[in-house]
């Protein structure tokens, strides 16, 4: 067991290697008791930081509802389950059949689809299944540029590269914050992609899906909308309805604004596409899938349906209020000419604050957690890195934040980033705000 810390990832960056070494140096007791104690302390501190005291504005996360948490069963997740109900490889799983029929039925109903494939462990796998079903090695797919929210799982460094695909950036209209509709027809004519992927890791305003589909249709490409971030709004009938508007496939993560367990979904109204992508999920990319995840997924989907859009509306109203408050504090907030946002996302240009990463690190010291993000008006290879800060209101909304708490949060962000305040004092005040809301 004497493992050199460097052997974990000697290829990682110096910053990552230093942190790995620091963590490993803290392991003084690798006995069962020692490891159990180490794990318990880490989980306890993590829960305190995020669940009890922190202001989590990271856009790609959420907390499952109490009802969904109550049906989460790690022991079911640890049981293999392979194949369709009625023809499973294992015997005795009839009760899991119920979950496996219930979850996709409820998810499909929410997003306006005939079919939902819910067995992917992540949206990245869901996207890989889509690429694999629709494009052969050497084929081209067209995706949003990284600076415009194109995700790793859309780009050659990620899933499309695994399939050996050629990836090209869609023409982008910075003014419209959307695909450049004027340049798109000629671009598709030149590049001939099999698949066009829209939907982004930062999405302030809806895509013009209907117009984009008309153009992709004429070019013979399949239009995929990756709603990983927007799924909670889409499922509530808010923001936009990608399938009704013309996207042929909808993929998404189930743990971001959707608020369920981690996982990926592929939904469609097209029976042929449904069969092709589903066959890539199983038996293509998954053998035994996690049936335990499907219980909280089903409950989360039922909650979204029963809620009638109230949570989604609060998330969007909170984002608008937060954006306005940040603007009033003196931040440069994206989308100012269009009311800042129509989703639960807000973006701040942190170019003058040392860039997104540096600003996010300073806020983390104050107990405010979020991430950097590329902004459409930067260069992909900007040496300063991602120049934006990305904010999502989906978690704080669930924690009981309204416009008052968000105005206070915006003021704290201004203290830290614009006026160099002591982050420790703000971390304590932020924890008090969270604790006060919990007690309410
Ligand atoms: C987060 C994200 C994903 C990846 O989701 P995972 O479930 O974590 O694999 C895919 N696409 C987009 C646009 C995302 O933002």
- Could you tell me if 299 and 323 lie in one domain? no
Q: What distance in angstroms lies between residue 253's CA and the mean position of ligand 1's atoms?
A: 6
- Residue 378 maps to a domain: yes
- Residue 9 maps to a domain: no
Q: Within 10 A of 296 (CB to CB), how many other CB atoms are there?
A: 27
Give the integer Cα–Cα distance in Å for 364 and 397.
19
Among residues 306, 332, 358, the one where a domain terminates is 306
**DSSP type of residue 172:** E
- Could you tell me if 277 and 370 lie in one domain? no
39-59: pLDDT as tens digits? 999 999 999 999 999 999 999
- Residue 63 maps to a domain: no
Asked if residues 117 and 132 have their Cβ atoms less than 8 Å apart, the reply is no
Q: Whose CA is nearest to atom 5 of ligand 1?
A: 123
403-423: pLDDT as tens digits? 999 999 999 999 999 999 999
- Could you tell me if 136 and 281 lie in one domain? yes
Residues with CB under 6 A from ligand 1: 60, 122-124, 151, 153, 199-201, 226, 228-229, 253, 264
- Could you tell me if 259 and 370 lie in one domain? no
Q: What distance in angstroms lies between residue 25's CA and the mean position of ligand 1's atoms?
A: 33
Instruction: Report the pLDDT value the prediction gives residue 4, as an integer from 0 to 100.
Output: 55
- Buried b / exposed e over 39-61, threshold 16 CB at 10 Å, is eeeeeeeeeebbeebbbbbbbbb
Asked if residues 296 and 71 have their Cβ atoms less than 8 Å apart, the reply is yes
- Name every residue whose Cβ is closer than 8 Å to that of residue 134 and which is 6 or more positions away in sequence: 194, 195, 222, 276, 277
- Could you tell me if 254 and 115 lie in one domain? yes
Give the integer Cα–Cα distance in Å for 120 and 123.
7
Sheet with strand 264-268: strands edge to edge: 115-120, 264-268, 249-253, 222-226, 195-198, 140-143, 166-169
Ligand 1 pocket mutation, candidates 61, 159, 228, 372, criterion most atoms within 8 A of CB: 228
Report the mean per-residue pLDDT for the chain. Answer: 96
- Buried b / exposed e over 180-218, threshold 16 CB at 10 Å, is eeeebeebbeebebbbbbbbbbbbbbbbbbeebbebbee
- Could you tell me if 295 and 335 lie in one domain? no
Q: What distance in angstroms lies between residue 333's CA and the mean position of ligand 1's atoms?
A: 24
- Residue 4 maps to a domain: no
Number of domains in the chain: 2
234-271: pLDDT as tens digits? 999 999 999 999 999 999 999 999 999 999 999 999 99
Q: What distance in angstroms lies between residue 43's CA and the mean position of ligand 1's atoms?
A: 24
- Ligand 1, residue 125: give the atom nearest the CA: 9
Residue 173: CATH number of its domain: 3.40.640.10
- Could you tell me if 116 and 226 lie in one domain? yes
- Ligand 1, residue 154: give the atom nearest the CA: 11
Q: What is the Cα 324 distance to its own chain's centre?
A: 24
Q: What pTM was estimated for this model as a whole?
A: 0.97
Please determine, for residue 1, whether its predicted confidence score (pLDDT) is greater than 50.
no
- Could you tell me if 165 and 234 lie in one domain? yes
- Could you tell me if 142 and 157 lie in one domain? yes
- Residue 105 maps to a domain: yes
- Could you tell me if 152 and 245 lie in one domain? yes
364-415: pLDDT as tens digits? 999 999 999 999 998 877 777 899 999 999 999 999 999 999 999 999 999 9
Q: What distance in angstroms lies between residue 404's CA and the mean position of ligand 1's atoms?
A: 31
- Could you tell me if 283 and 224 lie in one domain? yes
Q: What distance in angstroms lies between residue 40's CA and the mean position of ligand 1's atoms?
A: 29
Among residues 306, 336, 360, the one where a domain terminates is 306
Ligand 1 pocket mutation, candidates 201, 202, 225, 390, criterion most atoms within 8 A of CB: 201
- Residue 408 maps to a domain: yes
In what helix (H) or strand (E) does residue 411 lie, and over which residues does it extend? helix 403-418
- Tokens, residue 229: 């971030």
- Residue 44 maps to a domain: no
- Could you tell me if 284 and 329 lie in one domain? no
Domain, as residue range, for 122:
72-306
- Ligand 1, residue 229: give the atom nearest the CA: 15
Residue 317: CATH number of its domain: 3.90.1150.10
Number of H helices and number of E strands within the chain? 18, 15
- Ligand 1, residue 262: give the atom nearest the CA: 7
Among residues 267, 284, 306, the one where a domain terminates is 306
């Amino acid at each position: 067991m004497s493992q050199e810390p460097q052997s974990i990832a000697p290829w990682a960056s110096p910053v990552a290697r230093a942190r790995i070494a620091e963590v490993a140096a803290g392991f003084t007791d690798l006995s069962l008791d020692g490891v159990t104690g180490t794990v318990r302390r880490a989980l306890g501190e993590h829960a305190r930081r995020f669940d009890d005291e922190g202001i989590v504005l990271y856009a790609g996360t959420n907390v499952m509802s109490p009802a969904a948490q109550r049906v989460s069963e790690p022991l079911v997740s640890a049981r293999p389950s392979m194949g369709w109900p009625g023809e499973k490889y294992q015997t005795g799983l009839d009760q899991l059949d119920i979950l496996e029929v219930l979850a996709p039925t409820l998810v499909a109903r929410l997003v306006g689809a005939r079919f939902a494939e819910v067995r992917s462990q992540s949206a990245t796998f869901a996207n890989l299944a889509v690429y694999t079903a629709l494009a052969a090695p050497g084929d081209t797919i067209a995706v949003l540029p990284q600076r415009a929210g194109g995700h790793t799982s859309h780009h050659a460094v990620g899933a499309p590269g695994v399939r050996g695909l050629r990836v090209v950036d869609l023409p982008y209209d910075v003014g419209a914050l959307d695909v450049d509709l004027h340049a798109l027809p000629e671009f598709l004519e030149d590049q001939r992609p099999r698949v066009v992927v829209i939907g982004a890791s930062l999405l302030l305003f809806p895509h013009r899906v209907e117009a984009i589909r008309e153009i992709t249709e004429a070019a013979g490409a399949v239009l995929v909308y990756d709603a990983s971030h927007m799924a909670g709004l889409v499922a509530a009938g808010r923001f936009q309805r990608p399938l009704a508007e013309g996207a042929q496939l909808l993929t998404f993560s189930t743990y971001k604004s959707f608020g369920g367990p981690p996982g990926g979904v592929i939904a469609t109204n097209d029976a042929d596409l449904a069969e092709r992508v589903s066959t890539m999920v199983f038996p293509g990319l998954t053998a035994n899938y996690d049936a335990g995840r499907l219980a909280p997924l089903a409950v989360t989907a039922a909650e979204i349906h029963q809620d009638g859009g109230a949570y989604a509306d609060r998330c969007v109203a909170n984002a608008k209020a937060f954006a306005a408050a940040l603007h009033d504090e003196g931040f440069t907030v994206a989308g100012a000419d269009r009311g800042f946002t129509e989703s639960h996302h807000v973006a701040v240009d942190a170019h003058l604050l040392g860039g997104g990463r540096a600003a996010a690190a300073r806020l983390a010291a104050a107990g405010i957690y979020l991430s950097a993000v590329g902004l459409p008006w930067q260069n992909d290879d900007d040496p300063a890195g991602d120049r934006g800060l990305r904010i999502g209101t989906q978690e704080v909304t669930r924690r009981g934040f309204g416009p008052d708490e968000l105005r206070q949060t915006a003021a704290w962000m201004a203290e830290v980033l614009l006026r160099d305040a002591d982050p420790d004092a703000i971390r304590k005040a932020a924890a008090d705000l969270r604790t006060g809301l919990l007690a309410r």
